[in-house]
Amino acid sequence: MALSTEVLGRIDSFIRGGFEDRDRVIEILTEELYELGELDPDEVAGAVDAVMAEHEKQKVTWPRVTDCDRLNSVFVALSAKGIIVLQNAGYTQSDGMDDVSEVFHTHRNRESMIGYCFFHGQDLQKRSRPAVHSLAL
């Protein structure tokens, strides 16, 4: 049975996102997002391998400094200013808020924290911009 367009789209999003390795993508799809047995793990693995191979081919056409490199630089600068920054903070905005709260409450110097900025898995799928907020935890 061929994988649905939805599953193939999710695989593409995971690979482009770059936050999960091959085995984790397969695990997420076959054990977390879909019911056990709903997807054939071998079929998912083959699709993941194909998308990863294509992604690697495309990398040679990328500029020396990518959008992700620029985003990383911005997040480093924000962190230095006392802003909690998280990339791929869970899957939903609620997950991201939980992650921010956890970082804030376990931070050694909470008084230095002035805000937060994060994006989550759904943002990666939508290709939206990270939310920046003042800290009111």
pLDDT tens-place string over residues 93-124: 999 999 999 999 998 888 888 999 999 888 87
Element (H, E) at 131: strand 131-134
As a whole number of angstroms, the distance between CA 2 and CA 95 comes to 32
Give the pLDDT confidence of 61-80 residue by residue, as tens digits.
999 999 889 999 999 999 99
* Pairing mode, strands 131-134 and 115-118: antiparallel
Mapped onto helix, strand or coil, the DSSP state of residue 128 is coil
- C-alpha radius of gyration, the chain, whole number: 17
Tokens for 32?
């977390």
Residue-level pLDDT at 137: 45
As a whole number of angstroms, the distance between CA 95 and CA 91 comes to 6
